[in-house]
């Protein structure tokens, strides 16, 4: 089973904002972090407390990138419910 990808997701901002923190801004975790592409908020993934998801849905900033940024990081859109 492959990953669902959405080409040309309309939610991806034109410019990805730099991370505001090196750890989850809510719980302090330094593992499996996600970057809010809109404002730079850093939160933990859903396998932990899900602070990145809570931020994305609460602030209507649907696109997150996995940290650290690089060749192996992915982009997820909560509005499309898919990798982009």
pLDDT at 8: 79
The answer to whether residue 26 sits within a structural domain is no
The answer to whether residue 47 sits within a structural domain is yes
The answer to whether residue 18 sits within a structural domain is no
The answer to whether residue 24 sits within a structural domain is no
Please tell me the distance from the alpha carbon of residue 1 to that of residue 23, in angstroms, as a whole number: 32
Query: Does 68 have pLDDT greater than 90?
Result: yes
Please tell me the distance from the alpha carbon of residue 55 to that of residue 34, in angstroms, as a whole number: 10
- Band (71; pLDDT cuts 50, 70, 90): very high
Domain carrying residue 57: 33-83
Q: What is the tens place of the pLDDT at every residue in 14-63?
A: 998 999 999 999 999 999 999 999 999 999 999 999 999 999 999 999 99
Burial 7-22 (b: 16+ CB within 10 A, else e): eebebbeeebeebeee
The answer to whether residue 25 sits within a structural domain is no
pLDDT at 74: 96
9 DSSP 8-state letter: -
Per DSSP, the residues of 19-83 read PS-SS-TTT---SSEEEETTT--EEE-TTTT-HHHHHHHHHT--EEEESS-STT--EEETTTTEE
User: How many domains does the structure of the chain reveal?
Assistant: 1
The answer to whether residue 61 sits within a structural domain is yes
The answer to whether residue 4 sits within a structural domain is no
């Amino acid at each position: 089973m492959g990953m669902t990808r959405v080409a040309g997701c309309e939610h991806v901002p034109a410019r990805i904002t730099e991370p505001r923190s090196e750890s989850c801004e809510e719980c302090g975790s330094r593992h499996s972090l996600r970057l809010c592409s809109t404002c730079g908020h850093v939160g933990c993934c859903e396998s932990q407390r899900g602070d990145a998801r809570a931020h994305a849905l609460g602030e209507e900033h649907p696109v997150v990138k996995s940290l650290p940024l690089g060749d192996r990081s992915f982009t997820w859109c909560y509005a499309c419910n898919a990798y982009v």
